[in-house]
Protein backbone atom coordinates (compact mmCIF):
# COMPACT_ATOMS: atom_id res chain seq x y z
CA UNK A 1 0.00 0.00 0.00
CA UNK A 2 1.25 3.49 -0.90
CA UNK A 3 1.10 6.42 1.48
CA UNK A 4 -1.52 9.10 0.97
CA UNK A 5 -0.18 11.24 -1.89
CA UNK A 6 -0.90 14.57 -0.16
CA UNK A 7 -0.58 13.58 3.48
CA UNK A 8 0.75 10.95 5.84
CA UNK A 9 0.11 7.25 5.84
CA UNK A 10 -3.25 5.54 5.51
CA UNK A 11 -6.18 7.97 5.06
CA UNK A 12 -8.38 5.57 7.02
CA UNK A 13 -6.30 6.36 10.13
CA UNK A 14 -6.97 10.12 10.02
CA UNK A 15 -9.06 11.54 12.86
CA UNK A 16 -10.82 14.91 13.33
CA UNK A 17 -9.48 17.35 15.88
CA UNK A 18 -11.23 17.56 19.27
CA UNK A 19 -13.24 20.74 19.86
CA UNK A 20 -10.81 21.80 22.59
CA UNK A 21 -8.04 21.87 19.99
CA UNK A 22 -10.05 23.66 17.30
CA UNK A 23 -11.05 26.19 19.94
CA UNK A 24 -7.40 26.70 20.90
CA UNK A 25 -6.47 27.21 17.25
CA UNK A 26 -9.19 29.80 16.83
CA UNK A 27 -8.94 31.66 20.14
CA UNK A 28 -5.21 31.46 20.93
CA UNK A 29 -3.59 31.37 17.52
CA UNK A 30 -6.09 33.12 15.27
CA UNK A 31 -6.40 30.17 12.89
CA UNK A 32 -9.23 30.50 10.39
CA UNK A 33 -10.68 27.61 8.37
CA UNK A 34 -9.47 27.10 4.84
CA UNK A 35 -11.48 28.85 2.16
CA UNK A 36 -10.70 26.35 -0.61
CA UNK A 37 -10.18 22.61 -0.72
CA UNK A 38 -6.81 21.28 -1.89
CA UNK A 39 -6.58 19.90 -5.39
CA UNK A 40 -7.61 16.31 -6.03
CA UNK A 41 -5.04 13.97 -7.54
CA UNK A 42 -6.78 13.95 -10.91
CA UNK A 43 -6.76 17.77 -10.97
CA UNK A 44 -2.97 18.07 -10.76
CA UNK A 45 -1.33 19.50 -13.90
CA UNK A 46 1.03 16.56 -14.43
CA UNK A 47 3.19 16.96 -17.55
CA UNK A 48 4.01 13.93 -19.68
CA UNK A 49 7.35 12.28 -19.03
CA UNK A 50 10.29 13.70 -20.92
CA UNK A 51 11.77 10.24 -21.52
CA UNK A 52 11.64 8.99 -25.07
CA UNK A 53 11.00 5.40 -26.09
CA UNK A 54 14.70 4.53 -26.23
CA UNK A 55 15.33 5.86 -22.72
CA UNK A 56 12.42 3.95 -21.27
CA UNK A 57 13.60 0.79 -22.97
CA UNK A 58 17.11 1.23 -21.58
CA UNK A 59 15.71 1.52 -18.06
CA UNK A 60 13.39 -1.45 -18.64
CA UNK A 61 16.34 -3.54 -19.78
CA UNK A 62 18.21 -2.58 -16.61
CA UNK A 63 15.43 -3.88 -14.36
CA UNK A 64 14.45 -6.73 -16.68
CA UNK A 65 10.89 -5.75 -17.42
CA UNK A 66 8.86 -2.82 -18.78
CA UNK A 67 6.41 -3.27 -15.90
CA UNK A 68 9.17 -2.10 -13.55
CA UNK A 69 9.45 1.32 -15.20
CA UNK A 70 6.42 3.49 -14.47
CA UNK A 71 5.72 6.83 -16.09
CA UNK A 72 2.02 7.25 -15.27
CA UNK A 73 0.96 10.48 -13.59
CA UNK A 74 -0.18 9.00 -10.25
CA UNK A 75 2.99 6.98 -9.62
CA UNK A 76 5.19 9.98 -10.43
CA UNK A 77 3.14 12.25 -8.14
CA UNK A 78 3.44 9.74 -5.28
CA UNK A 79 7.23 9.93 -5.65
CA UNK A 80 7.39 13.73 -5.63
CA UNK A 81 9.23 15.04 -2.57
CA UNK A 82 8.67 13.72 0.96
CA UNK A 83 6.33 14.41 3.87
CA UNK A 84 7.43 17.66 5.49
CA UNK A 85 4.73 20.28 5.94
CA UNK A 86 6.14 22.44 3.10
CA UNK A 87 6.22 19.33 0.91
CA UNK A 88 2.53 18.69 1.59
CA UNK A 89 1.47 22.30 1.16
CA UNK A 90 3.24 22.50 -2.18
CA UNK A 91 1.78 19.29 -3.57
CA UNK A 92 -1.71 20.23 -2.34
CA UNK A 93 -1.47 23.41 -4.39
CA UNK A 94 -0.29 21.64 -7.53
CA UNK A 95 3.43 22.47 -7.32
CA UNK A 96 5.14 19.67 -9.27
CA UNK A 97 8.59 21.20 -9.72
CA UNK A 98 10.26 18.08 -8.30
CA UNK A 99 8.37 15.51 -10.39
CA UNK A 100 10.47 12.50 -11.49
CA UNK A 101 10.45 11.54 -15.16
CA UNK A 102 9.89 7.91 -14.21
CA UNK A 103 9.80 5.56 -11.25
CA UNK A 104 12.14 2.59 -11.65
CA UNK A 105 11.81 -0.53 -9.47
CA UNK A 106 14.95 -2.70 -9.36
CA UNK A 107 14.74 -6.27 -8.10
CA UNK A 108 18.24 -6.59 -6.67
CA UNK A 109 21.77 -5.28 -6.40
CA UNK A 110 22.69 -6.04 -10.02
CA UNK A 111 19.58 -4.23 -11.23
CA UNK A 112 20.62 -1.14 -9.27
CA UNK A 113 24.07 -1.19 -10.86
CA UNK A 114 22.46 -1.53 -14.29
CA UNK A 115 20.11 1.39 -13.63
CA UNK A 116 23.03 3.58 -12.57
CA UNK A 117 24.89 2.69 -15.77
CA UNK A 118 21.85 3.43 -17.90
CA UNK A 119 21.21 6.75 -16.17
CA UNK A 120 24.85 7.75 -16.65
CA UNK A 121 24.45 7.13 -20.39
CA UNK A 122 21.11 8.98 -20.50
CA UNK A 123 22.19 11.97 -18.40
CA UNK A 124 19.57 11.26 -15.72
CA UNK A 125 19.97 11.83 -12.00
CA UNK A 126 18.86 9.11 -9.56
CA UNK A 127 16.99 9.63 -6.29
CA UNK A 128 16.80 6.49 -4.10
CA UNK A 129 13.28 6.08 -2.66
CA UNK A 130 12.44 3.87 0.31
CA UNK A 131 9.35 4.69 2.36
CA UNK A 132 9.08 8.30 1.14
CA UNK A 133 9.03 9.65 4.71
CA UNK A 134 11.76 12.31 4.45
CA UNK A 135 10.90 15.60 6.17
CA UNK A 136 14.06 17.52 5.22
CA UNK A 137 13.92 17.68 1.41
CA UNK A 138 15.82 14.42 1.01
CA UNK A 139 13.79 13.40 -2.04
CA UNK A 140 13.91 16.73 -3.89
CA UNK A 141 17.14 16.95 -5.91
CA UNK A 142 18.59 20.34 -6.79
CA UNK A 143 19.46 21.57 -10.27
CA UNK A 144 17.84 21.30 -13.68
CA UNK A 145 18.85 17.72 -14.51
CA UNK A 146 15.86 15.38 -15.08
CA UNK A 147 15.79 12.45 -12.67
CA UNK A 148 14.21 9.11 -11.94
CA UNK A 149 13.02 7.87 -8.56
CA UNK A 150 14.66 4.53 -7.73
CA UNK A 151 11.93 2.82 -5.70
CA UNK A 152 13.43 -0.09 -3.77
CA UNK A 153 10.19 -1.75 -2.69
CA UNK A 154 10.88 -4.94 -4.70
CA UNK A 155 14.08 -5.43 -2.72
CA UNK A 156 12.21 -6.52 0.39
CA UNK A 157 13.68 -9.83 1.53
CA UNK A 158 15.22 -11.10 4.72
CA UNK A 159 18.41 -12.50 3.19
CA UNK A 160 20.00 -14.20 6.18
CA UNK A 161 19.67 -14.79 9.91
CA UNK A 162 22.67 -15.88 11.97
CA UNK A 163 21.26 -16.95 15.36
CA UNK A 164 24.70 -17.71 16.76
CA UNK A 165 26.05 -14.21 16.07
CA UNK A 166 22.57 -12.66 16.44
CA UNK A 167 22.72 -10.85 13.12
CA UNK A 168 20.34 -10.51 10.19
CA UNK A 169 20.85 -9.26 6.64
CA UNK A 170 17.96 -7.31 5.14
CA UNK A 171 17.27 -5.72 1.79
CA UNK A 172 16.73 -1.93 1.79
CA UNK A 173 13.14 -1.80 0.55
CA UNK A 174 11.84 -3.88 3.45
CA UNK A 175 9.52 -1.73 5.54
CA UNK A 176 9.95 -1.80 9.28
CA UNK A 177 6.77 -3.70 10.25
CA UNK A 178 7.52 -6.42 7.69
CA UNK A 179 11.12 -6.62 8.90
CA UNK A 180 9.92 -7.08 12.49
CA UNK A 181 7.45 -9.76 11.41
CA UNK A 182 10.12 -11.69 9.50
CA UNK A 183 12.58 -11.46 12.39
CA UNK A 184 9.87 -12.50 14.86
CA UNK A 185 9.60 -15.76 12.95
CA UNK A 186 13.15 -16.47 14.10
CA UNK A 187 12.51 -15.24 17.66
CA UNK A 188 14.31 -11.90 17.18
CA UNK A 189 13.55 -8.19 17.09
CA UNK A 190 15.44 -5.24 15.69
CA UNK A 191 13.93 -2.97 18.36
CA UNK A 192 13.86 0.07 16.09
CA UNK A 193 10.57 1.99 16.39
CA UNK A 194 10.77 5.59 15.10
CA UNK A 195 7.60 7.61 14.60
CA UNK A 196 7.83 6.76 10.88
CA UNK A 197 7.94 3.03 11.74
CA UNK A 198 4.79 2.00 9.89
CA UNK A 199 6.05 3.34 6.54
CA UNK A 200 9.83 3.79 6.62
CA UNK A 201 12.30 1.30 5.12
CA UNK A 202 15.45 -0.44 6.32
CA UNK A 203 17.56 1.33 3.72
CA UNK A 204 16.12 4.68 4.74
CA UNK A 205 16.97 4.03 8.38
CA UNK A 206 20.61 3.48 7.46
CA UNK A 207 20.82 6.31 4.93
CA UNK A 208 19.55 8.88 7.46
CA UNK A 209 20.98 7.62 10.78
CA UNK A 210 17.48 7.02 12.09
CA UNK A 211 16.81 6.91 15.82
CA UNK A 212 13.90 4.93 17.25
CA UNK A 213 11.77 5.66 20.26
CA UNK A 214 13.38 2.78 22.17
CA UNK A 215 16.87 4.16 21.56
CA UNK A 216 17.71 4.40 25.27
CA UNK A 217 17.70 0.62 25.38
CA UNK A 218 18.34 -0.49 21.80
CA UNK A 219 20.49 2.35 20.49
CA UNK A 220 20.21 4.28 17.24
CA UNK A 221 19.94 2.44 13.94
CA UNK A 222 23.52 3.31 13.00
CA UNK A 223 24.65 1.55 16.19
CA UNK A 224 22.81 -1.58 15.06
CA UNK A 225 24.43 -1.72 11.60
CA UNK A 226 27.30 -4.22 11.25
CA UNK A 227 27.63 -4.27 7.46
CA UNK A 228 26.45 -2.50 4.31
CA UNK A 229 26.52 -3.26 0.60
CA UNK A 230 26.30 -0.29 -1.76
CA UNK A 231 25.85 0.06 -5.48
CA UNK A 232 27.63 3.14 -6.83
CA UNK A 233 28.16 4.48 -10.34
CA UNK A 234 31.73 3.20 -10.02
CA UNK A 235 30.83 -0.29 -8.80
CA UNK A 236 30.10 -2.23 -5.62
CA UNK A 237 31.26 -1.56 -2.05
CA UNK A 238 31.01 -4.09 0.77
CA UNK A 239 31.71 -2.94 4.31
CA UNK A 240 31.77 -4.76 7.63
CA UNK A 241 33.67 -8.03 8.16
CA UNK A 242 33.41 -8.10 11.95
CA UNK A 243 31.48 -6.32 14.71
CA UNK A 244 34.49 -4.04 15.34
CA UNK A 245 37.79 -3.61 13.54
CA UNK A 246 41.01 -1.62 13.78
CA UNK A 247 41.68 -2.04 10.05
CA UNK A 248 41.62 1.64 9.18
CA UNK A 249 38.69 4.08 9.39
CA UNK A 250 35.28 2.43 9.56
CA UNK A 251 33.77 2.89 6.08
CA UNK A 252 30.35 1.93 7.41
CA UNK A 253 30.24 5.26 9.21
CA UNK A 254 30.95 7.09 5.96
CA UNK A 255 27.85 5.69 4.29
CA UNK A 256 25.49 5.72 7.28
CA UNK A 257 23.77 9.08 7.02
CA UNK A 258 24.94 9.70 3.44
CA UNK A 259 21.31 9.98 2.23
CA UNK A 260 21.86 8.34 -1.14
CA UNK A 261 24.49 10.87 -2.23
CA UNK A 262 27.40 8.38 -2.32
CA UNK A 263 25.67 5.14 -3.29
CA UNK A 264 22.49 3.10 -3.09
CA UNK A 265 22.34 0.78 -0.08
CA UNK A 266 21.34 -2.67 -1.36
CA UNK A 267 21.68 -4.72 1.83
CA UNK A 268 22.10 -4.04 5.54
CA UNK A 269 23.45 -6.46 8.15
CA UNK A 270 22.18 -5.57 11.60
CA UNK A 271 22.43 -6.72 15.17
CA UNK A 272 19.23 -8.38 16.40
CA UNK A 273 18.08 -9.38 19.88
CA UNK A 274 15.67 -11.95 21.29
CA UNK A 275 12.09 -10.75 21.43
CA UNK A 276 11.34 -9.42 24.92
CA UNK A 277 9.03 -11.38 27.16
CA UNK A 278 7.77 -8.22 28.86
CA UNK A 279 7.11 -4.61 27.84
CA UNK A 280 5.98 -2.06 30.41
CA UNK A 281 5.35 1.67 29.98
CA UNK A 282 4.53 4.16 32.72
CA UNK A 283 4.16 7.87 33.31
CA UNK A 284 5.89 10.22 35.75
CA UNK A 285 5.21 13.89 36.47
CA UNK A 286 7.86 16.51 37.16
CA UNK A 287 7.26 20.06 38.29
CA UNK A 288 9.40 21.59 35.54
CA UNK A 289 11.27 20.70 32.36
CA UNK A 290 14.61 21.39 34.05
CA UNK A 291 13.79 19.04 36.93
CA UNK A 292 12.65 16.31 34.59
CA UNK A 293 15.71 16.71 32.36
CA UNK A 294 17.96 16.32 35.39
CA UNK A 295 16.17 13.06 36.25
CA UNK A 296 16.62 11.74 32.70
CA UNK A 297 20.29 12.69 32.78
CA UNK A 298 20.81 10.80 36.03
CA UNK A 299 19.27 7.62 34.60
CA UNK A 300 21.23 7.99 31.34
CA UNK A 301 24.52 8.47 33.15
CA UNK A 302 24.23 6.32 36.26
CA UNK A 303 21.41 3.90 35.43
CA UNK A 304 19.42 1.88 35.47
CA UNK A 305 18.70 2.95 31.90
CA UNK A 306 15.15 2.23 30.70
CA UNK A 307 14.44 1.10 27.13
CA UNK A 308 12.26 4.17 26.49
CA UNK A 309 12.92 7.48 28.20
CA UNK A 310 11.29 10.75 27.10
CA UNK A 311 10.11 13.99 28.67
CA UNK A 312 7.56 16.54 27.42
CA UNK A 313 7.86 20.18 28.44
CA UNK A 314 5.06 22.06 30.17
CA UNK A 315 3.33 23.16 26.96
CA UNK A 316 3.45 19.77 25.25
CA UNK A 317 2.17 18.13 28.44
CA UNK A 318 -0.68 20.64 28.77
CA UNK A 319 -1.81 20.14 25.18
CA UNK A 320 -1.48 16.36 25.54
CA UNK A 321 0.71 15.81 22.47
CA UNK A 322 2.57 12.97 24.19
CA UNK A 323 -0.71 11.01 24.21
CA UNK A 324 -2.42 11.75 20.86
CA UNK A 325 -5.59 9.83 21.73
CA UNK A 326 -6.00 12.07 24.79
CA UNK A 327 -5.02 15.38 23.20
CA UNK A 328 -6.82 18.37 24.63
CA UNK A 329 -7.99 16.65 27.84
CA UNK A 330 -5.72 18.71 30.10
CA UNK A 331 -7.11 21.87 28.51
CA UNK A 332 -10.60 20.84 29.59
CA UNK A 333 -9.41 20.34 33.16
CA UNK A 334 -7.63 23.68 33.33
CA UNK A 335 -4.97 22.23 35.63
CA UNK A 336 -1.22 22.64 35.83
CA UNK A 337 -0.01 19.49 34.15
CA UNK A 338 3.69 19.93 34.94
CA UNK A 339 5.91 17.83 32.67
CA UNK A 340 5.11 14.27 31.66
CA UNK A 341 7.89 11.69 31.40
CA UNK A 342 7.26 8.35 29.71
CA UNK A 343 9.46 5.50 30.90
CA UNK A 344 9.45 2.06 29.29
CA UNK A 345 11.17 -1.25 30.02
CA UNK A 346 11.70 -4.39 27.92
CA UNK A 347 13.29 -7.72 28.70
CA UNK A 348 12.59 -10.76 30.81
CA UNK A 349 9.89 -10.46 33.44
CA UNK A 350 12.49 -10.52 36.21
CA UNK A 351 14.84 -7.99 34.64
CA UNK A 352 12.00 -5.64 33.73
CA UNK A 353 10.58 -5.71 37.25
CA UNK A 354 14.00 -5.09 38.80
CA UNK A 355 14.91 -2.17 36.54
CA UNK A 356 11.46 -0.59 37.05
CA UNK A 357 11.91 -0.73 40.79
CA UNK A 358 15.43 0.70 40.66
CA UNK A 359 14.47 3.45 38.20
CA UNK A 360 11.45 4.39 40.30
CA UNK A 361 13.71 5.03 43.28
CA UNK A 362 15.87 7.36 41.19
CA UNK A 363 12.89 9.20 39.69
CA UNK A 364 11.32 9.73 43.11
CA UNK A 365 14.62 10.99 44.46
CA UNK A 366 14.72 13.49 41.58
CA UNK A 367 11.26 14.85 42.44
CA UNK A 368 9.14 12.67 40.17
CA UNK A 369 5.58 11.64 40.97
CA UNK A 370 4.43 8.25 39.62
CA UNK A 371 1.31 8.32 37.45
CA UNK A 372 0.93 4.60 36.86
CA UNK A 373 0.91 2.70 33.59
CA UNK A 374 -2.01 4.50 31.90
CA UNK A 375 -0.05 7.53 30.55
CA UNK A 376 2.76 5.31 29.32
CA UNK A 377 0.39 2.84 27.71
CA UNK A 378 -1.50 5.67 26.01
CA UNK A 379 1.76 6.95 24.59
CA UNK A 380 2.71 3.46 23.37
CA UNK A 381 -0.64 2.95 21.69
CA UNK A 382 -0.68 6.39 20.05
CA UNK A 383 2.99 6.94 19.27
CA UNK A 384 2.55 6.65 15.49
CA UNK A 385 -0.45 9.01 15.39
CA UNK A 386 1.29 12.41 15.49
CA UNK A 387 1.80 12.73 11.70
CA UNK A 388 -1.92 12.14 11.20
CA UNK A 389 -2.59 14.89 13.74
CA UNK A 390 -0.34 17.19 11.69
CA UNK A 391 -2.48 16.54 8.60
CA UNK A 392 -5.66 17.27 10.57
CA UNK A 393 -4.18 20.60 11.67
CA UNK A 394 -3.37 21.47 8.05
CA UNK A 395 -6.91 20.55 7.06
CA UNK A 396 -8.20 22.92 9.75
CA UNK A 397 -6.15 25.81 8.35
CA UNK A 398 -3.28 25.69 10.87
CA UNK A 399 0.41 25.29 10.16
CA UNK A 400 2.17 22.48 12.04
CA UNK A 401 5.78 21.35 11.66
CA UNK A 402 8.60 19.77 13.64
CA UNK A 403 12.35 20.19 13.96
CA UNK A 404 14.94 18.50 16.13
CA UNK A 405 18.50 18.83 17.36
CA UNK A 406 20.84 17.43 20.01
CA UNK A 407 23.61 18.67 22.27
CA UNK A 408 25.69 17.81 25.31
CA UNK A 409 23.79 17.94 28.60
CA UNK A 410 25.43 21.19 29.74
CA UNK A 411 24.13 22.92 26.61
CA UNK A 412 20.58 21.55 26.65
CA UNK A 413 18.99 24.39 28.73
CA UNK A 414 20.50 27.13 26.56
CA UNK A 415 19.67 25.28 23.33
CA UNK A 416 16.08 24.73 24.44
CA UNK A 417 15.60 28.42 25.27
CA UNK A 418 17.35 29.66 22.12
CA UNK A 419 15.27 27.60 19.69
CA UNK A 420 11.99 28.40 21.47
CA UNK A 421 12.81 32.10 21.44
CA UNK A 422 13.81 32.06 17.76
CA UNK A 423 10.60 30.34 16.69
CA UNK A 424 8.36 32.40 18.93
CA UNK A 425 9.82 35.78 18.03
CA UNK A 426 10.03 35.14 14.28
CA UNK A 427 6.48 33.87 13.94
CA UNK A 428 5.05 36.47 16.33
CA UNK A 429 6.75 39.29 14.41
CA UNK A 430 5.14 37.88 11.25
CA UNK A 431 1.69 38.21 12.83
CA UNK A 432 1.16 34.52 13.62
CA UNK A 433 2.12 33.89 17.26
CA UNK A 434 2.89 30.16 17.62
CA UNK A 435 2.43 27.39 20.11
CA UNK A 436 5.92 25.87 20.57
CA UNK A 437 6.17 22.48 22.24
CA UNK A 438 9.21 20.31 22.93
CA UNK A 439 10.27 16.94 24.27
CA UNK A 440 13.45 15.03 24.96
CA UNK A 441 13.10 11.78 23.04
CA UNK A 442 16.62 10.31 22.95
CA UNK A 443 19.13 10.31 25.79
CA UNK A 444 22.81 9.44 26.02
CA UNK A 445 25.36 9.45 28.79
CA UNK A 446 26.72 12.75 27.50
CA UNK A 447 23.68 14.51 26.02
CA UNK A 448 20.19 14.35 24.60
CA UNK A 449 17.97 15.37 21.71
CA UNK A 450 15.33 18.08 21.66
CA UNK A 451 12.28 17.64 19.40
CA UNK A 452 10.15 20.75 18.78
CA UNK A 453 6.61 20.92 17.42
CA UNK A 454 5.34 24.29 16.18
CA UNK A 455 1.72 25.23 15.49
CA UNK A 456 0.54 28.61 14.20
CA UNK A 457 -1.75 30.24 11.69
CA UNK A 458 -0.54 29.71 8.15
CA UNK A 459 -0.15 33.29 6.98
CA UNK A 460 -0.56 34.39 3.36
CA UNK A 461 2.35 32.27 2.08
CA UNK A 462 2.75 29.34 4.51
CA UNK A 463 5.92 27.91 2.96
CA UNK A 464 7.76 31.26 2.94
CA UNK A 465 6.34 31.95 6.39
CA UNK A 466 7.85 28.74 7.78
CA UNK A 467 11.11 29.13 5.87
CA UNK A 468 11.92 32.33 7.77
CA UNK A 469 11.15 30.72 11.13
CA UNK A 470 13.08 27.56 10.26
CA UNK A 471 16.12 29.60 9.23
CA UNK A 472 15.99 31.48 12.54
CA UNK A 473 15.78 28.20 14.46
CA UNK A 474 18.68 26.73 12.49
CA UNK A 475 20.83 29.75 13.28
CA UNK A 476 19.89 29.46 16.96
CA UNK A 477 20.82 25.76 16.96
CA UNK A 478 24.32 26.36 15.64
CA UNK A 479 24.88 29.39 17.88
CA UNK A 480 23.84 27.42 20.98
CA UNK A 481 26.14 24.49 20.21
CA UNK A 482 23.57 22.03 18.87
CA UNK A 483 23.78 19.80 15.81
CA UNK A 484 21.60 20.72 12.86
CA UNK A 485 19.90 17.32 12.95
CA UNK A 486 19.76 14.45 15.41
CA UNK A 487 17.76 11.98 13.31
CA UNK A 488 15.76 13.69 10.54
CA UNK A 489 18.87 14.04 8.38
CA UNK A 490 20.27 16.80 6.20
CA UNK A 491 18.47 16.64 2.84
CA UNK A 492 18.33 20.00 1.13
CA UNK A 493 16.61 21.81 4.01
CA UNK A 494 19.57 21.52 6.41
CA UNK A 495 22.39 21.39 3.87
CA UNK A 496 23.70 24.95 4.23
CA UNK A 497 23.89 24.64 8.03
CA UNK A 498 25.41 21.17 7.79
CA UNK A 499 28.22 22.59 5.64
CA UNK A 500 28.96 25.13 8.38
CA UNK A 501 28.84 22.44 11.05
CA UNK A 502 31.21 20.16 9.09
CA UNK A 503 33.60 23.02 8.26
CA UNK A 504 35.43 23.74 4.96
CA UNK A 505 37.98 20.95 5.26
CA UNK A 506 35.34 18.39 6.21
CA UNK A 507 33.17 19.44 3.28
CA UNK A 508 36.16 19.19 0.93
CA UNK A 509 36.75 15.62 2.13
CA UNK A 510 33.12 14.70 1.47
CA UNK A 511 33.28 16.24 -2.01
CA UNK A 512 36.35 14.08 -2.69
CA UNK A 513 34.36 10.97 -1.70
CA UNK A 514 31.50 12.08 -3.94
CA UNK A 515 33.82 12.59 -6.91
CA UNK A 516 35.41 9.18 -6.36
CA UNK A 517 32.16 7.21 -6.15
CA UNK A 518 29.86 9.36 -8.29
CA UNK A 519 31.99 11.45 -10.65
CA UNK A 520 29.03 12.55 -12.80
CA UNK A 521 27.00 13.64 -9.76
CA UNK A 522 24.09 11.32 -10.60
CA UNK A 523 23.05 10.41 -7.08
CA UNK A 524 20.62 12.69 -5.25
CA UNK A 525 22.20 15.96 -6.49
CA UNK A 526 22.03 18.78 -3.97
CA UNK A 527 21.17 16.49 -1.06
CA UNK A 528 23.77 16.53 1.73
CA UNK A 529 26.20 18.43 -0.53
CA UNK A 530 25.61 21.19 -3.12
CA UNK A 531 25.03 19.96 -6.66
CA UNK A 532 27.89 20.49 -9.10
Q: Give the global pTM.
A: 0.96
pLDDT above 80 (res 328): no
The pLDDT score that the predictor gives to residue 334 is 44
Count CA atoms closer than 13 A to 329's CA, side-chain side. 10
Residue 293 burial class via C-beta count within 10 angstroms: exposed 0-12, middle 13-18, buried 19 and up = buried
Q: What share of the chain is helix, strand, coil (3-state, %, to 5)?
A: 40, 20, 40
The pLDDT score that the predictor gives to residue 332 is 46
pLDDT tier, 116 (very low <50, low <70, confident <90, very high otherwise) = very high
Domains and CATH numbers, the chain: 44-151 (3.30.43.10), 158-274 (3.30.465.10), 278-384 (3.30.70.3450), 387-488 (3.30.300.330)
The pLDDT score that the predictor gives to residue 108 is 98
Which helix (H) or strand (E) is 514 found in, with range? helix 504-517
pLDDT above 60 (res 268): yes
pLDDT, tens digit, for every residue of 119-150? 999 999 999 999 999 999 999 999 899 999 99
pLDDT above 70 (res 171): yes
Which helix (H) or strand (E) is 353 found in, with range? helix 349-365
pLDDT tier, 320 (very low <50, low <70, confident <90, very high otherwise) = confident
The pLDDT score that the predictor gives to residue 470 is 98
pLDDT, tens digit, for every residue of 24-43? 899 989 998 877 778 999 99
Residue 200 burial class via C-beta count within 10 angstroms: exposed 0-12, middle 13-18, buried 19 and up = buried
pLDDT, tens digit, for every residue of 186-234? 999 999 999 999 999 999 999 999 999 999 999 999 999 999 999 999 9
| Residues whose CB is less than 8 angstroms from the CB of residue 212 and which lie 6 or more positions away in sequence, other chains included | 191, 192, 193, 194, 197, 218, 220, 221
Amino acid sequence: MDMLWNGWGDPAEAAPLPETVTGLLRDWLGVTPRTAAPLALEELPVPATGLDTAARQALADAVRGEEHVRTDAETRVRHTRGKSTPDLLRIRHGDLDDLPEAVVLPGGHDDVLAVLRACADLGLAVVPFGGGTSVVGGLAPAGERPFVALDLRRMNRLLDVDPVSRTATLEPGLRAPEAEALLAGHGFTLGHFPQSYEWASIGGFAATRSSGQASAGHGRFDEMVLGLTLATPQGTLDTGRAPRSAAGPDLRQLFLGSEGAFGVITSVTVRVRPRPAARRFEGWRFASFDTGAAALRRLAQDGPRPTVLRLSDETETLIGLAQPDAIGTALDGGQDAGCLAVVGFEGTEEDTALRREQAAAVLRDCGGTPLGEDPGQRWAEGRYSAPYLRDSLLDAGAFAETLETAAFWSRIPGLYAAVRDALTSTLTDAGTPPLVMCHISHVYENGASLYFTVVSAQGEDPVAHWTRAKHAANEAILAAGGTISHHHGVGTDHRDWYLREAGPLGVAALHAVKRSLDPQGLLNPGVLLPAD
